[in-house]
Every structure is written in structure tokens, then in C-alpha cells.
Amino acid sequence: MKKIIFILSFLAVSLFAKVDFSEMSTEELLAMIGYIKPVNQKSFQKELDIRYPKMSKKEKNIYVKNLKKLKK
């Protein structure tokens, strides 16, 4: 019974938890472009904007190439 309550509590918290993009690597963020829920879009874009100056040339190319997906 305790396991069921724990699992249900975990699921409830994870459904309503805010996504912390600052904990993810730049590669992970670039791979997620186009797959972010509209609710999280603003914080996702903000994190990418913060990281852009520090990105390698390869990462910047990937970012610019996938920028169209962010605008949708």
C-alpha cells in the first residue's frame, strides 16, 4: 500500500513540476528544439539565449538551423 501511495505521489509531483533547463547540457537542449511544450517555451528560449554566447561553432550552427522549429 505504501508503494502505491509513493508511486502516485511521485507521478503527481512530476506532472506538475517545473522543468529546469539550466540543469541540462547544451547538447540536450539543442536536441529538444521543436519538442518543448508551449507552457515551457519561454523558459527554454531564455536558457538557450543565455547559453548562445558560450556555444561552440558547431552548436551555434545546430541552433541556427533549428531556430525555425522554435518559432512555430
The 10s digit of each residue's pLDDT in 9-53 is 554 544 455 678 898 899 999 998 888 888 888 999 999 999 999
User: Do the domain assignments include residue 7?
Assistant: no
Spatial distance between the Cα atoms of 5 and 42, rounded to a whole number of angstroms: 33
Q: Count the domains in the chain.
A: 1
pLDDT score, position 38: 86
Q: Which domain holds residue 65?
A: 19-71
User: Do the domain assignments include residue 46?
Assistant: yes
User: Do the domain assignments include residue 38?
Assistant: yes
User: Do the domain assignments include residue 2?
Assistant: no
User: Do the domain assignments include residue 8?
Assistant: no
pLDDT score, position 6: 54
User: Do the domain assignments include residue 40?
Assistant: yes
User: Do the domain assignments include residue 47?
Assistant: yes
